[in-house]
Structure 1
Amino acid sequence: MKSKWLKTLGMGLALSAATTAAQAETLKVVTDPSFVPFEMMDQATGKMVGFDMDILAEVAKRSGFEYDLNTLDFNGIIPALQSGNVDMALAGITITEAREKIVDFSDPYYDSGLRILVRANNDGVDALPDLEGAKIGTKIGSTSYNFLKDNLEQDDNVIPYPGSSDMYMALMSGAVDAVFYDAPNVGYFSSTRGQGRTKTVGPLYEGQQYGIALKQGSPWMDEVNAALADMKADGTYKTIYEKWFGTMPNSQ
């Protein structure tokens, strides 16, 4: 009798687990495919890879949701969340007061800032004031674009591009004199495709923090924040960080 009861109990538990797995909610998640190394397309597999993609996979596993991932131009991500067409987004999204009024943000998961990138032979730029009147490439809809418009007296030559690869190509071809954008993306480009042809200059401007963006009122906020906290506590976050950026600073 005991053996039969245990067998029945085991079957019941297995069925319950299978039912729970089958009922796991699938969230609609979007990312911007051009913010290297946070998110980028692996040409060999056709899948999105990068720092944010590893964070997303780990958060989903710990929070208990599945996700359907799609790509979207950065400028359309916040409106998509605001309209409720998507549930969540990871795309190096800076937490700002304006954005917090229309979407919800997780606790910060990455500390960043803005940086200047110029061609390697340009020795005339050491700080933002040196860019007055110059042609500057940045990304449309980004905080870097807003920062330039707010802090340059001559901002008529600030050129917003739809993707980061476009503005880097413009810099190397001479179409713009500098790029002003998120520091990790600028630094990664300068040390990879732009190595020997570009360099970062000046200080880090406008310290920023990235958050996972969710549609307002999302029931997953507590689970997402708990997952991020656990990842930092058990070293998983550090492992993911150093996979993409090298040694992790103490501030992260």
Structure 2
Amino acid sequence: MKKTVTALTLSAALALALTACGSGSGGGSTAPEESAATTGLEDGVFTVAMECNYAPFNWTQSDDSNGAVPISGGSDYAYGYDVMFAKEIAEAADCELEIVKMEWDALIPALQSGSVDAVIAGQCITAERAAQVDFSDPYYYASIVCLVKSDGEYAGAQGISDFEGAVATSQLGTVWYDTCLPQMPGVEILPAQESVPAMLVALDSGAVDLVVTDQPTALSACKAYPDMVMLDFSGTEGDFDVSEEETNFGISVQKGNTGLVEIINEVLGQYTPEDYTARMDEAIEVQPLNQE
């Protein structure tokens, strides 16, 4: 799954960003109002919202180790796969980076209201979301998997039809819960969990037999909880029936902000899917739950 690289060159994208973010008097013909409409970065700050609670995509930590960034309005820091890209985009746009911590359901409304410039939070590029916000090219491609206890009844499952009688949950407002869990015959679906950590605690405590999530989250969970195992049915008849849009992750911006999308896509255009995998592995290795 190759990305579409925008026709705009990197130098042109940077020129847009500098026009939007520069503090000096400009000699170009673009008026300040036009710059603001193009990127929304006229204040020189790239404001990004994320949960800071969704390792390995993003998490909260107490210091700036590994290049973590302060979370606005508090003493903690954010890091993870999403922060890595947020830093690169801010640098390309010649802007300061501000990370804002929000609940999952507040992310898209924050974009729509204009209180943040972008959401970088492990969002799948679904048609429903794309009707509300604009997305970059994918910055990660991930299969949807099941996560179970290694010594549990369902550890040997060979497909999604092998979980009859199981109790399951996933995170609220996700493809995992809304689309995938209903495809599993004979599974009792409990109410959705507010966050990934809550979902994992439900599995670890025995409240459920399985959770459905994406591959990076499952790999991260297996690092933090050695008694969990990931079951990936990709490419088999027992896999979930999901579209490509439901496994491609994008960076979202306010509807119509094509200038910022172009800048983001120029940064992403330097990477291949293999590069994304390598960077995700880096994030998984340094997530706080791995540090004893």
TM-score range, shorter chain: 0.7 to 0.9
TM-score where L is the length of structure 1: 0.79
129-138 vs 209-218, which moves further: 129-138
- Map 1:133-212 onto structure 2 (within 5 A): 133-154=165-186, 156-190=188-222, 192-195=223-226, 197-204=227-234, 205=240, 206=242, 207=244, 208-212=247-251
Distance, in Å, in 2 between the alignment partners of 1:64 and 1:33 is 24
**Cα deviation, residue 236, structure 1:** 7.7
Q: Which of 140, 145, 150 in structure 2 is aligned with 1:120?
A: 150
- Map 1:45-64 onto structure 2 (within 5 A): 45=64, 46-64=76-94
Whether contact under 8 Å (1:135, 1:178) holds in the other structure is: yes
Q: Secondary structure at the match of 1:79?
A: helix
**Cα deviation, residue 86, structure 1:** 2.2
Distance, in Å, in 2 between the alignment partners of 1:113 and 1:158 is 23
Task: Give aligned-pair identity as a percent.
Answer: 25
148-157 vs 70-79, which moves further: 148-157
Distance, in Å, in 1 between the alignment partners of 2:209 and 2:187 is 13
Q: Which of 250, 254, 258 in structure 2 is aligned with 1:215?
A: 254
Q: Which of 99, 111, 119 in structure 2 is aligned with 1:81?
A: 111
Residue in 2 aligned with 1:25? 44
Residue in 2 aligned with 1:5? none
For structure 1, the 5+ residue unaligned runs are: 1-16, 247-252
Counterpart of 1:227, as a letter, is V
78-87 vs 180-189, which moves further: 78-87
TM-score where L is the length of structure 2: 0.69
- Greater CA radius of gyration, 1 or 2? 1
Distance 1:202 1:37, change over 3 A: closer
Residue-by-residue CA offset, 1:43-75 (whole Å, 9 max, x unaligned) = 344210111101110111113333321111112
Counterpart of 1:102, as a letter, is Q
Q: Secondary structure at the match of 2:145?
A: strand
Q: Which of 145, 154, 162 in structure 2 is aligned with 1:130?
A: 162
Counterpart of 1:140, as a letter, is L
Whether contact under 8 Å (1:128, 1:202) holds in the other structure is: no
- Map 1:3-22 onto structure 2 (within 5 A): 19=24
Computed over aligned residues only, the root mean square deviation of the Cα atoms, in angstroms, reads: 2.7
Distance, in Å, in 2 between the alignment partners of 1:152 and 1:242 is 29
Distance, in Å, in 2 between the alignment partners of 1:239 and 1:181 is 20
Distance 1:239 1:172, change over 3 A: closer
**Cα deviation, residue 182, structure 1:** 1.2
Counterpart of 2:265, as a letter, is N
Whether contact under 8 Å (1:63, 1:227) holds in the other structure is: no
Counterpart of 1:56, as a letter, is A
130-139 vs 35-44, which moves further: 130-139
**Are 1:93 and 2:123 counterparts?**
yes
**Cα deviation, residue 184, structure 1:** 0.7
Distance, in Å, in 1 between the alignment partners of 2:97 and 2:283 is 23
